[in-house]
Structure 1
């Protein structure tokens, strides 16, 4: 898979992210994508070839491997990285939509006019899009962590598993290659995923708290203006009939 293409797309997200979002991107690229590409893929490259069972029954080893590894860790992590990064493109697409509206507005009313003060500023619909992307990313992270634990019953890989699935003649012992090394990488990737979940939750609370502070500030400013100019409405126009 071409991870450079994904990195190029996500680099645009960094411009519209908060501090928590930038840390999240750094964790994803350095501790997940980079480790995945450089080391994890090589650790699992010989997974099936070195899965040995103490039987010569044709097909038994392949069936047992498929039984204990219905989906490879490496493919599950690849899907996870794709799913948790795609919601960030919602923000980029929304900003691109705003910029296109801004271009059409200026073409119609003149270059000195503006529809948005800053198309990338998280106000209005863009704020909701950004918040929704965080909820979706968090949901995907938790879902894949649950799937990994549910499929393998644990994050720790055993050294030996026992299999009696047909066409195995009886209960056979099968041995996983390099279980300690694979367990270490599994815990590392799970830990990085948990860190990303915590960062997403912190960013959600940060956005909501900042929004509440801004709304409260606007309410106090509006109340003060009404006290100073009791005969004016929201637009600053006189409410008295002449």
Structure 2
């Protein structure tokens, strides 16, 4: 994938997103991707080389490093950014599918024929796709925050760790390279991820509330139309009932029965 195709995908995500979605996209690609590429990778660098233990026992530093850092922060964040941006492309692909259906429909029935009023408007299946993408993004963020906390026992990076795993001869002290910088970037990335979770939750609430409000408006409009129709029907019925039946020309020799006289006292035969 080249940069132009990637830029087209990002512009598509931004085009079909709500205000919360645009803020989320800015946070992800400005405060997370750029920080990750420009600064975080350089701070971590060759982590194992900077991991120094006060022993020369062969294999001890490697074993201790693998114990305390089973997966690197930088690689875990790379996976997180990849997985968290994939659900947004579901919306772009769904809109592309709608555009293709619209194109085939117009080619078959003419240019004036329309299958969708607006292929990018979040109605029907596209609304559900967009909502599911938000749930996926929120779940991915939560899962990776939990993994980061579970693997390292916290988001805090100590300057010194004590290791007594074989083949270390005894308990040795190991020092982490650039611990303060790594701690700052860890807190920053965790805070940005938490902020993205808040934005996703706000967008989910916004979409559901907007959908409920639209349904309520439709119900009220339908009830108003039913009420007006009933009122007009009652007015017409009352207008017809208010017309007195004074005289009805019947065929000669026809005599109205008792039921007809009871319902229309003024009914007479000519």
User: TM-score with structure 1 length normalisation?
Assistant: 0.91
8 Å CA contact 1:44, 1:74 repeated in 2: yes
Q: Alpha carbons of 1:2 and 1:196: their partners in 2 closer, same or farther (altered >3 Å)? A: farther
Larger Rg: 2
Which digits, 9 at most, give the CA deviation of each residue in 1:132-171, with x for residues without a partner? 0000000000000010010001111001101111111111
Give the Cα separation in 2 of the matches to 1:6 and 1:53. Answer: 43
Could you tell me which residue of structure 2 aligns to residue 144 of structure 1? 144
Following superposition, the deviation at residue 230 of structure 1 comes to 4.9
Give the Cα separation in 1 of the matches to 2:69 and 2:184. Answer: 17
Following superposition, the deviation at residue 96 of structure 1 comes to 0.8
Unpaired runs of 5+ residues, structure 2, are 232-270
Q: Alpha carbons of 1:109 and 1:5: their partners in 2 closer, same or farther (altered >3 Å)? A: closer
Give the Cα separation in 2 of the matches to 1:100 and 1:2. Answer: 23
Could you tell me which residue of structure 2 aligns to residue 83 of structure 1? 83
8 Å CA contact 1:10, 1:88 repeated in 2: no
Give the Cα separation in 2 of the matches to 1:2 and 1:155. Answer: 35
Could you tell me which residue of structure 1 aligns to residue 264 of structure 2? none
1:128 aligns with 2:128: yes
Q: Alpha carbons of 1:3 and 1:134: their partners in 2 closer, same or farther (altered >3 Å)? A: farther
**Count of aligned pairs between the two proteins:** 231
Which digits, 9 at most, give the CA deviation of each residue in 1:26-83, with x for residues without a partner? 0001110010000000000131111000110111111111111000000000000011
Could you tell me which residue of structure 1 aligns to residue 29 of structure 2? 29
Could you tell me which residue of structure 2 aligns to residue 240 of structure 1? none
**Which is further off, 198-207 or 41-50?**
41-50
Following superposition, the deviation at residue 227 of structure 1 comes to 2.5
Give the Cα separation in 2 of the matches to 1:64 and 1:161. Answer: 9
The equivalences for 1:193-212 within 5 A come to 193-212=193-212
* Superposition RMSD in Å: 1.8
Could you tell me which residue of structure 2 aligns to residue 96 of structure 1? 96
8 Å CA contact 1:13, 1:92 repeated in 2: yes
